[in-house]
Structure 1
Amino acid sequence: MEHVIGVDLGTSAVKVLLVDRNGNVKGEWTETYPLYQPHSGYSEQNPEDWVEKTIVALRKLLEVSHVSPDSVAGLSFSGQMHGLVLLDKERNVLRNAILWNDTRTTEECREIEEKVGKETLLSIAKNRALEGFTLPKLLWVKKHEPHLYQRAYTFLLPKDYVRFRLTGHIAMEYSDAAGTLLLDVENKTWSQLICDILDIDVQLCPPLVESTAYVGTLLPEIAEETGLPANVKVFAGGADNACGAVGAGILSEGRMMCSIGTSGVVLAYEQTGKKDFAGKVHYFNHAKPDAYYIMGVTLAAGYSFDWWKRTFMEDVPFADIVQRAYESPIGANGLLFAPYLVGERTPYADADIRASFIGIDSSQTKWDFARAVMEGITFSLNESVEMIKASGKTVESVVSIGGGAKSREWLQLQADIFAIPVEKLKNEQGPGLGAAMIAAYGCGWFDSLEQCSDMFKQVELVVEPQKEAVVRYQELFAIYREIYPQTKEITRKLKAFRS
């Protein structure tokens, strides 16, 4: 049987999956690499680490899966978004990559908004200027490292750089390019206007391709190092969230995904690039050609639960906390939690806001607090769900992945708070599976990504919302939404007292 490989280049590790024609994972391997933080707010990685570890992971994958290398027909990529990799004319890396979670570029974000104008930026790039995006990083290098900027010939994003090193082909695909703030998202071209206003040579921007585009085969030396045949077909791939959407089957209207990892993501399919969300949600090109997705982000989703467990219930297993917390009634006996531990992204984009427990009473137990944390995380995600619904979308179901899908109780919380049926997948592999699906489609195994999804995506459980719980949560959510406007100034004043 033939196989394809999905390479998922994450922030802490690269994970590779070997998948057969039926969507069964026949092998996987993970290799970690370091993160460098030379100053407060800085977050960098060495692109050579990505390449080295990807090669090792591919070689190990073949060893542990015991399949013939000749059975591997195609390979594609998923990757962490926004990271800046600068190359010189000889295609050598000029400096460490500046990552998505690097926060040094606040001044550059204000410069973009002032010079380009917020409305113009939203009309073209569809997103606000935030520190995570690529354009502010490019401007930071231009301002603070002009000797390097002057030598820059082009730039790539993380997975595009790894793909270049494996194939020799330089390109960027649309789903990742949409996260640069330089792409005209609707028209799928680099924005000459934004480049001109900010004095950036548009020639720095690499050629653009579809996520499903065939970009070549492995270089002979890479084939030798990995053990893969040199004729493996390589396809461009997509941004991690776009590939996560492919893997979860978010490929048509009415489909939504909720991912609770360290951060939380609510992502919905969008057929057109013409809608105006006023920058309240991210608006990106999909890995599916000529489609889009909208996305809201909770910065401290699973991180809030992990903080609670680590600080107050370190020795209690995750499953036990969730089960006991679920025994607490809706509303946690009058307790609310706003999960703003590290600020918030959607819908507030506020780096200064901080978390709150509201309604603490001496009768409440630690299990009430745990339930409040779970409900607060889900309420924050529901802010994005509600905005997506308000745009006129009909959402028929939500695919839940990540930590929030690991327990029946939390799945029920999501169904009740979102008021939408929630699906749990049998074999959740996230963005790596989406990358493998792109390769499977590219190899001609399926006529469309939707057809591939019908084969690869397997639903284990559908959790229906409970009518009485939905009503109670709607009342509670209205109270939750009062927390941010009434605490933002208080937490801003408290900033002076943070260590």
Structure 2
Amino acid sequence: MYIGLDLGTSGLKALLIDDDQKVIAEATAPLTVSRPHPGWSEQSAADWLAAASAAMDGLAAASSLAGVKGIGLSGQMHGATLLDASQNVLRPCMLWNDTRSYQEAAALDASPAWREITGNIVFPGFTAPKLMWVQKNEPDIFAKVAKILLPKDYLRLWLTGETVSEMSDAAGTSWLDTGKRDWSDVLLNSSDLTRDHMPRLVEGSEVSGTLRKELADRWGLPAGVVVAGGGGDNAASAVGVGVVKAGDAFISLGTSGVLFAASDAYQPDAATAVHTFCHALPGTWHQMGVILAATDALNWYAGLVGSDAATLTGDLGASLRAPGRTMFLPYLGGERTPHNDAQIRGSLTGLEHATNRSAGTAAVLEGVTFAIRDCYDALASTGTRFDRLIAVGGGSRSDYWLRAIATALNMPVQVPVAGDFGGAFGAARLAMMAATGAGAEIASVPKISKVVEPEKELTTAFAEAQTRYRDTYSALRGLS
């Protein structure tokens, strides 16, 4: 048996699978986000440990863990978890959607070395500019920093006593030479840091350490359980859904929106604002377009109109309609791909007497859909292939939304059978690889329950609305 732990923004999930990759048990624990100032987003690392403890306790209560051979880790990326020489946490972790360091990010990105070495723009949400912000605004804390860990890797420290990361998550720090899959001394030194501040690197399917005896005893696990390198949340989800070779892609409609395509070669194009990262498997990379608010935008609108997301999408019915005059730009906290604009904010325009709650819901789903189409075009411009597209995440439960996406992309969208094929499942698969020596062949695509085809009679209407969307962004940017 194998365990996957997925440290998300809103909660931590623990999943137990058997040797046939059948889910045996699962448990979750909630997490909250602190936003003390506009653009700030923080969590306490102690809350992650409490959530992991609770989820593992729940897993142990649901099933015997005596046969567990490995644990894999998945987690939210980019978070700056700062430790002193005694491994004490120095401040709350600045999360992936924290944009306070936009000025520091721009300053780093102005130096050509950062894009040349990492293959990416230095985005405000990445780890390196966060450290520059701390150096500038909290110098006493910066002076005490002895080790910098990503969120899931702080869990690893607790589980194993080891300070280790892996390639897919490390690629989101802006300190990794993504092509060479190693820390860049040039970029670290530019940040007044050295390799000593960084965790040791392994591949996601390799062993990073073994579970501490006191934790194994607490949950009834055998001695010597290995902990795999794991992966950043999207890379782990890709392993979970079988997107591990060129031509395979998935779209994730979660808090953020992600269009993820696997690649067997390193092919960066930073100017597109496409993320080019290492995959969680050796010798593979991936490209990714990211929007910061997907279901987060729908949940915001639901709160605004006093409803819930499921009711709003359900009220639309199953039949896709042409986009109306009302248009929504989902930039509630800035945007990454393709704009790299931390200061832009959302907009709901084209309101008229005929605009009702359902029209607003449709506009929100369409706005996120158009943002995803922007990501698709950015990835395609780099030469990325899309032979197959799989939909995952909470938003994929909306048939209306999937029809809109398939029509906007003019590409079929495959929907897996009911089940959890996300980060926790991918992490468990990586644990299986680490414990058994198995390779990518175990990361198969799940059974597909349905294929959502583009609605050809509406592709022109969606293309025209896409143009209006982009024009609206240009006008909004001119005002920001």
Task: Provide the TM-score with structure 2 as the length reference.
Answer: 0.93
Shift of 1:403: 3.1
Cα deviation per residue 1:191-212 (whole Å; 9 max; x = unaligned)? 1222233332332222211111
Q: Deviations over 1:128-148 (max 9, x none)?
A: 222211112222333333333
Shifted more, 103-112 versus 129-138: the winner is 103-112
**2:227 pairs with 1:234:** yes
Shift of 1:55: 2.6
Contact 2:299/2:309, CA 8 A, preserved across alignment: no
Q: Which 5+ residue runs of structure 1 have no aligned equivalent?
A: 493-499
Does 1:437 pair with 2:405?
no
What's the counterpart of residue 177 of structure 2?
184
- After TM superposition, the structure 1 = structure 2 runs for residues 251-262 of structure 1, keeping only pairs within 5 Å, are 251-262=244-255
Cα 1:337–1:56, aligned 2, differ >3 Å: closer, same or farther?
closer
Q: 2:58 aligns with which of 47, 57, 60?
A: 60
Q: In structure 2, the residue corresponding to 1:69 is in which secondary structure?
A: coil
Task: Report how many aligned residue pairs link the two structures.
Answer: 479
Would the aligned equivalents of 2:115 and 2:122 in 1 still touch at CA under 8 Å? no
Q: Is the 8 A contact 2:433 2:439 kept in 1?
A: yes
Q: Deviations over 1:203-261 (max 9, x none)?
A: 22222111111123211112122322222121111111111111122111111111112
Residues 59 and 227 of structure 1 are in contact (CA less than 8 Å); yes or no, is this contact kept in structure 2? no
- Say if 2:397 is the partner of 1:401: no
- Give 2:321's match in structure 1, choosing from 329, 345, 360: 329
1:204, 1:321 → 2: CA distance? 47
**2:34/2:43 contact within 8 Å kept:** yes
Change over 3 Å in CA distance of 1:474–1:145 after alignment to 2: closer
Trace 1:37-436 onto structure 2 (pairs within 5 A). 37-64=35-62, 66=63, 68-114=64-110, 117=111, 119-312=112-305, 314-315=306-307, 318-319=310-311, 321-324=313-316, 327=319, 329-332=321-324, 334-426=325-417, 427-436=419-428
Out of 183-192 and 124-133, give the one that drifted further: 124-133
Q: 1:227 to 1:55 in 2, by over 3 A?
A: farther
Once the two structures are aligned, what percentage of the paired residues are identical? 37
Residue pair 1:268, 1:295 contacting (<8 A) in 2 also: yes
- Secondary structure at the aligned position of 1:257 is classed as strand
Instruction: Give the AA of the match of 2:410.
Output: A
Q: Is the 8 A contact 1:396 1:421 kept in 2?
A: no
Check 1:103–1:393 CA distance in 2 against 1; reply closer, same or farther (3 A cut).
closer
Alpha-carbon contact 1:247-1:453 (below 8 Å) kept: yes
Residue 45 of structure 1 deviates from its aligned partner by 2.8
Deviates more, 1:25-34 or 1:416-425: 25-34
Q: Secondary structure at the match of 2:459?
A: helix
Considering only aligned residues, what root-mean-square deviation do their CA atoms show, in Å? 2.3
1:480 shift after superposition: 2.2
Distance 1:459 1:319, change over 3 A: farther
Mapped to 1, the partners of 2:140 and 2:75 lie a distance apart of: 29
Letter in 1 for 2:466: F
CA distance in 1, matches of 2:317, 2:298: 12
Q: Which amino acid aligns with 1:20?
A: D
SS of alignment partner, residue 441 of structure 1: helix
**Post-superposition CA distance 1:97-144 (Å, at most 9, x none):** 332233332332233234xx1x32111112222221111222233333
SS in 1 for 2:82: strand
Instruction: Find the residue that maps to 1:461 and give its secondary structure.
Output: strand
Aligned-pair CA distance for 1:380? 0.8
- Once residues 467 and 40 of structure 2 are traced to their aligned partners in structure 1, the CA distance between those partners, rounded to angstroms, is 37
Aligned residues of 1:319 and 1:407 also touching (Cα < 8 A): no
Q: Which residue identity is paired with 1:109?
A: A
Shift of 1:163: 0.8
Q: What amino acid maps onto 2:448 in structure 1?
A: V
Residues 157-194 of structure 1, C-alpha deviation per residue, up to 9 Å, x if partnerless?
11112112211222111111111111111111211222
SS in 2 for 1:70: coil
Query: Which AA in structure 2 matches 1:60?
Result: G
Change (3 A) 1:477 1:111: closer
Partners of 2:411 and 2:50 in 1: CA distance: 43
Partner of 1:453: 443
For the structure 1 residues 343 and 307, does the alpha-carbon distance in structure 2 shift closer, same or farther, using more than 3 Å as the test? same
Amino acid at match of 2:84: D
Contact 1:328 1:371 in 2 (8 A): no
- Contact 2:3–2:15 (CA<8 Å) still a contact in 1? yes
Q: Confirm or deny: 8 A CA contact 1:109 1:131 kept in the other structure.
A: yes
Cα distance, 1:27 vs structure 2 = 0.8
CA contact (8 A) 1:88 1:152 kept: yes
Deviation at 1:326, TM superposition (A): 5.3
CA contact (8 A) 2:262 2:285 kept: yes
The residue aligned with 2:463 is 474
Measure the CA separation in 2 of the matches of 1:50 and 1:230: 24
CA distance in 2: counterparts of 1:362 and 1:484, whole angstroms: 23
Seen in structure 2, the aligned counterparts of structure 1 residues 442 and 357 have a Cα distance that, compared at 3 Å, is: same
How far is the alpha carbon of 1:154 from its aligned partner?
2.0
Shift of 1:360: 3.7
**What SS does the aligned partner of 1:395 have?**
coil
Counterpart for residue 18 of structure 1? 16
Work out the CA distance in 2 between the residues paired with 1:40 and 1:232.
43
Structure 1's 415 and 139: CA in aligned 2 closer, same or farther, altered over 3 A? Answer: same
Verify the 8 A CA contact 1:325 1:370 in the aligned structure 2: no
